């Protein structure tokens, strides 16, 4: 398992995403088994949100981790933009903590930018942090200008992470956002490494198929390994079965060569100019 260190936190580069999990009762035990298998193999990051199944994903995670050592987990959740006021943040967090069966979050994120004044949202997050209800805070679906505004409000070193869409076919953040976050010491969490969140899979071009075939791995494993190639991105694929989790874990140990990365760059071009931030 590959790990990265952010502000003193040792995080597995492979996290556990939970979008669309917990919504089908017939799959509940299988999904819980997948989460527990990943955690037993060294993954320590779980990403969820109050939006996911209107709390059902959080409830699933809560059941999966109820007998585990909480201090060894890094638990992330997110709140809706319309819950961005300090009072609404407190209510959302209380509900999330109840569903997750814990008394604190390691990281709490504003799910996307709100119409509520950002400075007031930051104040609410800082209050939750001071109360010991969250250890760190950050945002999701913020672009570079949004992040600069956030740092101008909160100060350097206050923001832990920003979570955005990132995969081989959606690389726009590489042009300016990823370098900016590295410069400011803010972790980048990349969601939807297979671009499956919107039902549109990544086109399988020649280089991708050739690498998978040559290595004896799946296309999905190459895609996942690619997101972790720099050691600077925490990627959060969903795995709702133990078999899928095993495949993801194997991908975490797959190191692509310089030649393979160059071939992928020819088929899936890196951005050469500023791109609009994409999201799912």
Cα separation, 278 vs 280, in Å, equals 7
Q: Which helix (H) or strand (E) holds 95?
A: helix 86-100
- Is the pLDDT confidence value at 88 over 90? yes
Cβ-contact 34, 26 below 8 angstroms: no
Backbone phi, psi, residue 221, to 5°: -70, -35
Residues 140-157: tens digit of each pLDDT: 999 999 999 999 999 999
Question: If DSSP codes are grouped into helix, strand and coil, which group holds residue 28?
Answer: helix
Mark 228-257 as b/e (b = at least 16 C-beta within 10 Å): beeebbbbbbbbbebebbebbbebbebebe
Band of residue 12 on the pLDDT scale cut at 50, 70, 90: very high
| End-to-end Cα separation, the chain, in angstroms | 28
Place of tokens 């008394």: 103
Place of tokens 């320590």: 44
User: 110 is written with which tokens?
Assistant: 């504003």
Of 15, 88, 12, 5, nearest to 50 by C-alpha is: 88
Residues 117-146 have a mean pLDDT of 98
Cβ-contact 38, 64 below 8 angstroms: no
Q: Which helix (H) or strand (E) holds 45?
A: strand 45-47
Specify the pLDDT at position 196. 82
Task: Give pTM, 2 decimals.
Answer: 0.97
Mark 148-181 as b/e (b = at least 16 C-beta within 10 Å): eebbebbeeebbbbbbbbbbbbbbbbebbbbebb
Count the Cβ atoms, other than its own, within 10 Å of residue 215: 15
Cα separation, 140 vs 164, in Å, equals 6
Specify the pLDDT at position 200. 74
Place of tokens 């987990």: 73
DSSP sequence for 21-89? TT--GGGHHHHHHHHHHHHHTT--EEE--TTGGGGHHHHHHHHHHTTS-GGG-EEEEEE-GGG-SHHHH
Residues 18-66: tens digit of each pLDDT: 999 999 999 999 999 999 999 999 999 999 999 999 999 999 999 999 9
């Amino acid at each position: 398992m590959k790990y990265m260190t952010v502000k003193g936190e040792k995080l597995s580069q492979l996290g556990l995403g939970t979008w669309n999990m917990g919504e089908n009762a017939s799959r509940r035990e299988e999904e819980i088994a997948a989460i527990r298998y990943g955690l037993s193999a060294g993954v320590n990051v779980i990403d969820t949100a109050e939006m996911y199944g209107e709390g059902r994903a959080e409830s699933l995670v809560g059941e999966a981790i109820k007998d585990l050592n909480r201090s060894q987990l890094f638990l992330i959740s997110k709140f809706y933009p319309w819950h961005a006021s300090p009072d609404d943040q407190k209510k959302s967090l209380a509900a999330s903590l109840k569903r997750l069966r814990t008394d604190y979050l390691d990281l709490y994120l504003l799910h996307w930018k709100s119409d509520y004044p950002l400075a007031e949202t930051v104040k609410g997050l800082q209050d939750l942090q001071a109360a010991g209800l969250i250890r760190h805070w950050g945002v999701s679906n913020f672009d570079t200008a949004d992040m600069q505004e956030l740092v101008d409000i909160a100060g350097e070193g206050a923001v832990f992470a920003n979570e955005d869409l990132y995969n081989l076919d959606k690389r726009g953040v590489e042009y300016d956002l990823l370098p900016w976050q590295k410069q400011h010491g803010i972790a980048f969490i990349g969601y939807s490494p297979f671009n499956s969140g919107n039902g549109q899979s990544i086109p399988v071009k020649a280089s991708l198929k050739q690498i998978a075939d040559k290595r004896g791995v799946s296309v999905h494993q190459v895609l996942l390994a690619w997101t972790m190639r720099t050691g600077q991105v925490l990627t959060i694929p969903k795995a709702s079965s133990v078999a899928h989790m095993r495949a993801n874990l194997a991908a975490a140990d797959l190191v692509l060569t310089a030649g393979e990365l160059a071939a992928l760059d020819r088929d899936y071009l890196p951005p050469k100019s500023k791109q609009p931030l994409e999201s799912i």
